């Protein structure tokens, strides 16, 4: 079974997200879109001709979105079969958050690595 198919995004915490976004825009030209995050567009090398994206976002230092991880970052990986991968990971003893997220742009689940880093798994919708 195919596991990770690509890098979906990187999210990290900051004391002042607005000031940090401004710094990245001024000095590196990294601009947020209307949804509030930076989205890098690219062509999927696995599914030829399909557009794909990688999201980069800064969260407030007080966010609870990364919990139970205490890390300052969270990675997001693209997957082709979220349910199949979760079943395999469960059989392998990986810590899996029972919470799920279903949105028009895809389905989400979260797991923890052995060092306590929260990892977001994203199965993009057909339109994402």
Q: In what order do the strands lie in the sheet with 95-103?
A: 38-43, 51-60, 4-14, 73-79, 118-124, 106-112, 95-103
- Angle subtended at Cα 90 by Cα 87 and Cα 95, rounded to the nearest 5 degrees: 135
CATH number for 4-124: choose from 3.40.50.620, 3.40.50.10490, 3.30.2320.30, 3.10.180.10.
3.10.180.10
At which residue do the structure tokens 């915490």 appear? 13
Task: Kindly list the domain boundaries of the chain, sorted by start residue.
Answer: 4-124
Confirm if 75 and 120 have CB atoms less than 8 A apart.
yes
Tens digits of per-residue pLDDT, 10-39? 999 999 999 999 999 999 899 999 988 998
Q: What is the pTM of this model?
A: 0.86
């Amino acid at each position: 079974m195919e596991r990770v198919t690509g890098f979906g995004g990187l999210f990290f915490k900051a004391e002042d997200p607005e000031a940090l976004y401004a710094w990245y825009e001024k000095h590196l030209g990294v601009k947020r879109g209307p949804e509030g995050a930076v989205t890098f567009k690219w062509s999927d090398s696995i599914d030829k001709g399909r557009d794909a994206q990688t999201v980069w976002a800064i969260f407030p230092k007080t966010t609870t979105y990364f919990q139970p991880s205490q890390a300052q970052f969270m990675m997001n990986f693209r997957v082709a079969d979220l349910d199949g991968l979760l079943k395999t990971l469960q059989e392998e003893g990986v810590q899996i958050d029972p919470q799920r997220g279903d949105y028009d742009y895809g389905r989400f689940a979260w797991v923890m690595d052995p060092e306590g880093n929260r990892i977001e798994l994203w199965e993009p919708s057909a339109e994402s």
